[in-house]
Chains A and B, each alone.
Chain A
């Protein structure tokens, strides 16, 4: 909503500059911002066009002389409307216009030009640049234009919250200023005709089908109106408020809307030959062509104004083209009504058509203002369009406005405010708001005005008192009290530990979009959750996995010169496990992806490629950091992975490790040529591990004895199987066994490998003797030889 400051001044004194006025309104909850800053404009003065002739060398240009108060200078002007005797905005040589444009001397088609006659656009007032701006003749040549522009065009843009329909007008804003400053709010000048004759009922009938949709409908007819242009003052005001002038009739309706916030509509009476105005929902009507010349399909949601048979307007939203005022109109029917906010809201939503009128009706217009607005329009039509009013007005008023009586307790006000606001102050604010009130012993009995439909309950009034009193005047508490609670204060706190570990391993944490394409979410199997109204085709579903997002990030970074990357993300993934809302499962997981080298080439060593075992090592470390033993990796089938392994510990599966399938990368339409390794861990079980209470084990002070044994094994034998077999036998004092080295050579035999296993022995209560270890090693050698057909390498 754009508010002209000049217009506001008609209703309340304004002493503040636009910036201060903005601040005042913002602090009242009407967020405001000045629109123009004419103070930056320099070198533009009032000029008088002394002569305007055709340019000798160009048909479309004019050669003018302009008096700038001191000199008369030559100016070449391209505007069609420039004429002798005009008062204009003249930018002298050296002037600086909005956008930093500086005027300099020029030669145009052989004629010297020393300055520029400005259009509105060049001065930053509007987008108008068809012709130059013509100013009132009373302005004196040579004076800087800044003051004049500020006076006429200074305006504020207001961001009105949905609860404040009263904020959508100059009068409503003026009321707030008067309330805050204590200045007088001037009344609207309305002249109501007092004659008792009701001729109008002979020439117009209003039929309301449903009083819930239309609780009040008022109308009047004016004859002999002459359609033409509006007076300059009205054009300027509309312009300052961001509206273009159309013709005097349309302008009047718009003017009243902006002035007092109540929408009205003016029909060409002669285009309603039935003389009937019907207000009803859509029945069999198919479509209507609205004023903007759009054909709009109708549905039963829509409330219509009809001529008794066919629609002539979308009630409260936009008029129809058929019964619109044109240059030939002579008799008009003025509508001023109150429509149900929900009806208008539904209709406007369905059409996707939000207008100045619908915006006000859907927030709740003022049912009493319908009458004031009607008379204001009538007055202006008489004054500006020479209309003659047909005596009488129509006022169909089947619905009643409910104005609640509200009791506002002093104790509740104090509790909310946290400070004492005096009775006098409270009563003053209520009066300023237009709330009729009576102070009782410990409460106020209040009745809000009809223009504040948002004031329905005690808390609504308390809010108003605190708002107008000023949030700045409420003291800030200096202490707090809280209660003892045994609930886990932050269930996700230990995810920080996981993040710290992963970043220590070299992973960057990412956050990627949870909205992905159908292809991406289906690629990993499962049933993705679709979005009904996606922003784009690439965001139609909720992610089922974090991997595609990480792969996209890797792809992005490869293209930007960083191929070596470890990434992880912690977030929710979504699956439609069963039908319906309850069947949607959100699972928090951590997913990691590794690409490129784990160490780069340096002076100290070669680059080292990342492998599946890099990822596996990180998983082991995470479990170790969680105070848990290393997990087992069990081969698994998984779409999207060339090889995949479940991360198990006991019966619990924590997640998956694998090498991403190249086909999957191609399916996602990404270009990653080198292998990507990835793992994910479900966070619910893993945080349980992290949460586990640790127990201290006494330190064994006796030395560890270590031995290596080389076994020549068939290539098909898994080292893990050998280790597991040995561990399973529980050999005395054996505390660890793992492969240390793998060696392949023709001399060992084709299809074989020599694996060095490393053994650690320790006794809990004494130093181990050589012979104790040797006998166990011998047993192990025999065991492995017989179970795996292993040979000992000498």
Chain B
């Protein structure tokens, strides 16, 4: 028995010296020793021929041999196939990685998501509405009198008489109030259109987020608190801001919100807002003696331009890869 074990050991030693490099040959070498009909299996099968009292000793010898051979074999093949590829000397780690091309989400969408998340966190819901709407929902119901200079505030694209490309998402205010009972707490994002010459600071369309809150006791202080929270979430706690009196037909009092630009040393207008005008409530059948509210509107591109430092609004709509891939 002893000799047989020796013989296996020697044969193994010899094979180690000429250890194959080909994976398939390694596999056949492996089965030569460790396989179902391999050398070790044969040794175990000879156990029956040994006198019973020597069997434990012989068993231990064969097991030891098996363990030793396994260790040596695994180490040798690991050295050959795994480590060989993995050692620093054999890997040119300065090669570039395999590229996985990734795309980007448009900065307007990204900014909108940020805006939505802020307002959702303070109980606002999100509603959407039509881009083509009738004059009534875009203007008249919002207290823009038919022949009033207020109509000049927004240069309008007409589809036909009394049908327009909405100039703001405020049209959805009216749809919402027509179809829902107060109280309400909504923001309305969407694409809006202005018939203005295209330049670095104005495009024929942009994206707006309109906000509307209606409840019994809503004050200008509520409006200020909400928008201060929003502006600070977007531009940081240290932002300097002011509410400046302004005019919108559908809110009264109305305000514009400016933030201070330290670099340019000037105030920059970022949104318009105000208390919902009672005439608007009357138009949708809400009793203005009971219901009060505030509304606000902001341009997403404007916020994105300030956040990212973009100075030409046209870049948003050009699809230039060198622009898109930065976001």
List A contacts of B220 (CB < 8 A).
416-418, 466, 471, 474
CB distance from A192 to the nearest CB of B (A): 32
Contact B103 A505 (CB under 8 A): yes
**Main secondary structure on A side of the interface with B:** mixed
CB distance from B270 to the nearest CB of A (A): 14
Contact B205 A492 (CB under 8 A): no
Asked if A586 is at the interface (CB within 8 A of a chain B CB), the reply is yes
Contact A415 B103 (CB under 8 A): no
CB distance from A520 to the nearest CB of B (A): 15
Pick the contact of B148 from A162, A415, A417, A504 — CB < 8 Å?
A: A162
The winner among B122, B127, B220 for most chain A CB atoms within 10 A is: B220
Contact A489 B204 (CB under 8 A): no
Once the chains are docked, how many angstroms separate the CA of A359 from the CA of B122?
Answer: 43
Contact A31 B244 (CB under 8 A): yes
Asked if A131 is at the interface (CB within 8 A of a chain B CB), the reply is no
List A contacts of B131 (CB < 8 A).
514, 572, 574, 586
Contact A542 B132 (CB under 8 A): yes
List A contacts of B191 (CB < 8 A).
514, 571-572
List B contacts of A530 (CB < 8 A).
159
Once the chains are docked, how many angstroms separate the CA of A534 from the CA of B317?
Answer: 18
Once the chains are docked, how many angstroms separate the CA of A556 from the CA of B322?
Answer: 11
Contact A509 B99 (CB under 8 A): no
Asked if A496 is at the interface (CB within 8 A of a chain B CB), the reply is yes
Asked if A584 is at the interface (CB within 8 A of a chain B CB), the reply is yes
Binds A, one of B20-28, B74-82, B104-112: B104-112
Can you list, as one digit per residue, whether each of B283-327 has a CB less than 8 Å from chain A (1) or not (0)?
A: 000000000100000000000000000000000111111101100
Asked if B142 is at the interface (CB within 8 A of a chain A CB), the reply is no
Contact B253 A463 (CB under 8 A): yes
Count, chain A residues at interface, CB 8 A: 100
Pick the contact of A600 from B99, B132, B157, B204 — CB < 8 Å?
A: B99
Can you list, as one digit per residue, whether each of B141-152 has a CB less than 8 Å from chain A (1) or not (0)?
A: 000000111101
Can you list, as one digit per residue, whether each of A721-744 has a CB less than 8 Å from chain B (1) or not (0)?
A: 000000000000000000000000
List B contacts of A84 (CB < 8 A).
none
Answer whether A490 and B116 are a contact pair too, CB < 8 Å, given A345-B147, A457-B278, A471-B244.
yes
Pick the contact of A531 from B150, B157, B317 — CB < 8 Å?
A: B157
Pick the contact of B113 from A466, A496, A502 — CB < 8 Å?
A: A496
Can you list, as one digit per residue, whether each of B205-232 has a CB less than 8 Å from chain A (1) or not (0)?
A: 1010000000101011110111010000
Answer whether A532 and B219 are a contact pair too, CB < 8 Å, given A416-B275, A508-B321, A603-B95.
no
Can you list, as one digit per residue, whether each of B112-130 has a CB less than 8 Å from chain A (1) or not (0)?
A: 0100100010110111101
In A15-74, the 8 Å CB interface with B consists of: 26-29, 31
Contact A418 B252 (CB under 8 A): no
Contact B103 A562 (CB under 8 A): no
Once the chains are docked, how many angstroms separate the CA of A549 from the CA of B131?
Answer: 18
In chain A, what residue has the closest Cβ to B148? A162
Asked if B234 is at the interface (CB within 8 A of a chain A CB), the reply is no
Can you list, as one digit per residue, whether each of A520-535 has a CB less than 8 Å from chain B (1) or not (0)?
A: 0000000001111111
Contact A560 B322 (CB under 8 A): yes
Can you list, as one digit per residue, whether each of A556-593 has a CB less than 8 Å from chain B (1) or not (0)?
A: 11001010111110111010000001001010000000
In B239-290, the 8 Å CB interface with A consists of: 242-247, 252-255, 267, 275, 277-278
B residues with a Cβ closer than 8 A to A are 95-96, 98-106, 108-109, 113, 116, 120, 122-123, 125-128, 130-132, 134, 147-150, 152-153, 157-160, 162-163, 165, 183, 185, 191, 193, 195, 197-198, 204-205, 207, 215, 217, 219-222, 224-226, 228, 242-247, 252-255, 267, 275, 277-278, 292, 316-322, 324-325
Some 23 contacts from A to B, beta carbons below 8 A apart, are: A27-B242, A27-B245, A163-B247, A164-B247, A416-B219, A418-B220, A471-B242, A477-B221, A477-B222, A477-B225, A483-B185, A491-B126, A505-B103, A510-B319, A512-B317, A513-B205, A514-B193, A515-B193, A532-B158, A542-B159, A556-B320, A600-B99, A604-B98
Additional pairs, 14, CB under 8 Å, beyond known A474-B221, A515-B193: A31-B244, A161-B246, A162-B149, A162-B153, A418-B222, A499-B109, A504-B103, A512-B317, A515-B205, A535-B197, A557-B319, A566-B101, A581-B134, A586-B131
Interchain residue pairs A-B with the least CB separation, the first 4: A418-B221, A418-B219, A29-B245, A553-B319
